[in-house]
A and B are shown apart, each in its own frame.
Chain A
Amino acid sequence: MIYTAQVKVMPLKELLDPQGKAVMGGLGNLGLGSIKDVRIGKNITLQVEAESEAAAKAIAEDAAKKLLANQVMEMFEITIG
């Protein structure tokens, strides 16, 4: 069976995210000053062939740990849809 895995990769909370800061500045210029923080990450969609949802999640986790996220600077979350 084919499962769709969404891998959300975000910069670690304690790290400065310059991209997010730049976008927040832009939002402020649009008059959306009530937005107090912006952080930008990536969403990666995988089609995984596996026997169960748990197996698909394990495969996606392996991919995230080995390549999709660098855990020195990023964290990831996986949802299977």
Chain B
Amino acid sequence: MKFGVVVFPGSNCDRDMIGALCDDLKQEVIPLWHKDKDLSMFSKEDCIVLPGGFSYGDYLRCGAIARFSPMMNSVIEFANSGGKVLGVCNGFQILCESGLLPGALLRNAHQQFVCKNVFIKEEGNPAALKIPVAHGEGRYFASEEVLKSLNDNGQVLYRYCDENGKLTDTSNPNGATEAIAGICNEGRNVFGMMPHPERACSNILNNEDGRVVFSKLFGLS
């Protein structure tokens, strides 16, 4: 399996993502430039990653401009033909703006940028994973109809929880609807999440819970 990590102007987690995939998870990684559009070196088994950061300065809305970059047109095509795509933080915002994932990410309810370790849990698994978040606009929102279909189809990947895996008001760092931290599309090939698993894959960082996320999504260990 190969990974392509797209670098937009203003991306700032691209190196973290490349480092985690390459050095910690021993995967082949190809950095991709937003002005290019060639994804012919990737097959459906591979994954394109949209990293965190502040693409295009977060102008207009987070992810709104990145969506129209030449590379994103290719990524949308790649996703629609069944290729895997992962968006983390700003990458999640770009996926929502591009329509590859439903819903939107709004300003945090408390109006502050939040940068800390939080706990998240997989649906149906009580084990809490400690993963960092760093965002000002991470409050997931979708219409009731969309929320229902996400829940019915098992498209909610992660919810914010406390260290014991319990969903509580205080464990939701941004006011996200139903404490949603990450979702996938109906085809289960496009994944988006606000927390940063790439920042938690190395014992040097004293946190390897991010490996559990990559293992769940891509079978990597």
Stretch at the interface among B31-39, B72-80, B103-111: B103-111
A18, B107: Cα distance in complex, Å: 7
**Number of residues from B at the complex interface, CB < 8 A:** 19
Does B197 sit at the interface, judged by CB under 8 A? no
User: How many pairs, one residue from A and one from B, have CB atoms within 8 Å of each other in the complex?
Assistant: 34
- Are A73 and B68 in contact (CB-based, < 8 A)? no
A residues less than 8 Å from B104 (CB atoms) = 70, 72-73
What is the total number of residues of chain A having a CB less than 8 Å from a CB of chain B?
A: 13
Known: A68-B60, A72-B103. A15 touches B97 (CB 8 A): no
Minimum CB–CB distance for A20 against chain B, Å? 10
Interface centre among B97, B111, B175 (most CB of A within 10 A): B111
Q: Is the CB of A18 within 8 A of B108?
A: yes
In A14-29, which residues have CB < 8 Å from any B CB? Answer: 15-19, 21-22
Alpha-carbon distance between A72 and B62 when the two chains are bound, in angstroms? 14
Chain A residues, CB < 8 A from B60: 67-68
CB contact between A18 and one of B68, B97, B111, B143 (< 8 Å): that residue: B111
Closest partner residue, chain B, to A18 (CB atom): B111
Q: Which of B154-174 contact A (CB under 8 A)?
A: none
In the bound complex, CA of A70 to CA of B110 (Å)? 22
Are the C-beta atoms of A22 and B111 separated by less than 8 Å?
A: yes
Interchain CB contact under 8 A, A16 and B64: no
Given the complex of chains A and B, what is the CA–CA distance between A16 and B109 in angstroms?
A: 7
**1/0 contact trace for A30-65 toward B, CB 8 Å?**
000000000000000000000000000000000000
| New A-B contacts (5) at CB < 8 Å, excluding given A15-B141, A72-B104 | A18-B111, A67-B60, A68-B60, A70-B64, A70-B104
